[in-house]
Amino acid sequence: MDYLEIISPSLLRNIPELLAWGFGIFLAVIMVKRGGDKAEKLLLAGCSLMFIRQLASPLLQGLMQRLVSEQGRSYIDIAQTIGLTVSLPMGILGLAGFVCLVLAFWMKFWARRPALT
Amino acid sequence: MPCPCLLDEVLGKEASVNVMGISMFLAQFINIIPALLLWITVIVLVAILLRRGGDRAERFLIAGASLKITSNLLGLASSTILHELINRGYSIAYANSVIFGYGIFCNVVGMASVICLIYAFWVKFKLCKLKRI
């Protein structure tokens, strides 16, 4: 099976969220250019990380399927490779993006409200 | 997850299929519990803000968080649907095409939630800028 054939369904499925994160990057860039503060920069970083994660996830999954279909590899070897090449980078990217977004929203909505913090 | 062969012997084929479906659903549900808790916390906090004089931005934030919960719950059903379709005798190709369409639908709901959240941030940014002027 061709690599493009493997990744195209999940890439197509991810297009709506990719567009949403792209829209987020676009608005965040405008906010930063119009004098945005730390919160806006964090939003830009968060949206960019989430965009990269959404884009890289199907590509790495395609790589994972190729690894699984390769002959002569033990299950432990495949599991280790998948963990290191797919799950770990995706987890780190997702967590970093999520932390950036939570911080950005926290700063924007709750930072100047001592009663809630 | 329970071993299908053992379940077949103990419960019979049909009951074993149901147990497998339920355990798959439970496994996925446990997986999304942290995200669900986070979004519920966000809704509660924003509801408090809204009661203390929040405006449009807070409403969009609540809408975004609610859509995110919906998208998580919809995503939960995907593997159960696949399992159910294959058990009812549909071909794997047909089941895959159904799941593909369903996945796009879930992602569209996810897209709507992200757009609501980003728009809420945008509205708040404009409001803060106006206050500064």
pLDDT in tens, chain A (117 residues): 677 777 888 888 889 999 999 999 999 999 999 988 899 999 999 999 999 998 988 888 777 777 777 666 777 777 777 777 778 888 899 899 999 999 999 998 887 654 444
Q: Please report the ipTM that was assigned to this predicted complex.
A: 0.82
Mean pLDDT, chain B, rounded, equals 84
- Closest residue on chain A to B126 (Cα): A31
CB–CB contact B46 A109 (8 Å): yes
When CB atoms are compared, the residue of A13, A40, A116 closest to B103 is: A13
Predicted local confidence at residue A117, as pLDDT: 43
Minimum-distance CB partner of A17 among B46, B107, B128: B107
DSSP string, chain B: ---HHHHHHHH-HHHHHHHHHHHHHHHHHHHHHHHHHHHHHHHHHHHHHHHTT--HHHHHHHHHHHHHHHHHHHHHHHHHHHHHHHHTT--HHHHHHHHHHHHHHHHHHHHHHHHHHHHHHHHHHHHHHHHH-
More confident residue, A2 or B102: B102
Q: Is the minimum CB–CB distance between B21 and chain A shorter than 8 Å? A: no
Give the one of B108, B110, B114 whose C-beta lies nearest to A24's C-beta: B114
Q: Do A43 and B121 touch (CB under 8 A)?
A: yes
Residues of chain A in contact with residue B117, where contact means CB-CB under 8 angstroms, are 105
User: Which of A17, A19, A55, A95 is the best mutation test for B, with the most CBs of B within 10 A?
Assistant: A17
Look-up of token digits 């071993």 = B3
Where does the pLDDT of residue B115 fall: very low under 50, low under 70, confident under 90, or very high at 90 and above? very high
Only one residue has tokens 């797919």, namely A86
What is the per-residue pLDDT across B35-91, written as a single tens digit (0 to 9) for each? 899 999 999 999 998 888 878 899 999 999 999 999 999 988 887 888 888 888 888
Per-residue pLDDT, B106: 92
Q: Please, is B8 exposed, middle or buried when counting C-beta atoms within 10 Å of its C-beta (0-12, 13-18, 19+)?
A: middle
pLDDT the model gives residue B54 = 79
Taking one residue from A and the other from B, the number of pairs with CB-CB distance under 8 angstroms is: 67
What is the number of structural domains in chain B?
A: 1
**Cβ <8 Å between B118 and A14:** no
Q: Is B105 on the interface with A (CB under 8 A)?
A: no
What type of residue sits at position B99?
I
User: What pLDDT is stored for residue A114 in this prediction?
Assistant: 47
Q: Is B44 on the interface with A (CB under 8 A)?
A: no
User: Which pLDDT score, from 0 to 100, does residue A115 have?
Assistant: 47
Higher per-residue pLDDT: B17 or B101: B101
Contact A6, A68 (CB under 8 A): no
Structural domain including B73 reads 4-132
Contacts of A36 in chain B (CB under 8 A): 125
CA distance, residue A88 to nearest chain B CA (Å): 17
Nearest by CB to residue B115, choosing from A14, A23, A110, is: A23
Q: Chain B: nearest CA to A67, how far in angstroms?
A: 21
Q: At what angle do helices A38-69 and A88-109 cross, to 10 degrees?
A: 160
